Structure 1
């Protein structure tokens, strides 16, 4: 059994699948539990950042190009 909180599956040219498994914090005590909570929060924030970047790129690709005005200079 894999004790990792994350399982990532990737095949070139296909989607990336990320599975999140929360650690059993009830079995952890004190400082260990606090570190795991902090690590979980950091990984979720990293995932949020990845999603924000993907959203920004999608919006930029879908945005219509600005019309350019040509000005004749003599």
Structure 2
């Protein structure tokens, strides 16, 4: 893996692979820079959580049976 925190791999028609490497920020940086980086890391994790929540919701919706409609015919 490279020095980047995230590594992405995608081939059309296949899965998307996201690798996350947690850097040791405390030994490399400090002060305000560290605060910004930690905030950015948190935001990326929240974005990933949102993607997963959306995928779960779509999976749940696909698994639920379609509602039947009753129509009275005279």
TM-score over 0.5 for the pair: yes
Matches within 5 A, 1:22-33: 22-26=22-26, 27-33=28-34
Deviation at 1:3, TM superposition (A): 2.1
- Aligned mates of 2:6, 2:48 — CA distance in 1: 12
- Structure 2 unaligned residues grouped into runs of 5+: none
Q: Which residue of 2 aligns with 1:45?
A: 46
- Aligned mates of 1:52, 1:10 — CA distance in 2: 21
RMSD: 1.3
| Structure 1 consecutive aligned stretches of length 4 or more whose deviation exceeds 4 Å | none
TM-score, normalisation: structure 2: 0.90
TM-score, normalisation: structure 1: 0.90
Q: Is 1:55 the equivalent of 2:56?
A: yes
- Structure 1 unaligned residues grouped into runs of 5+: none
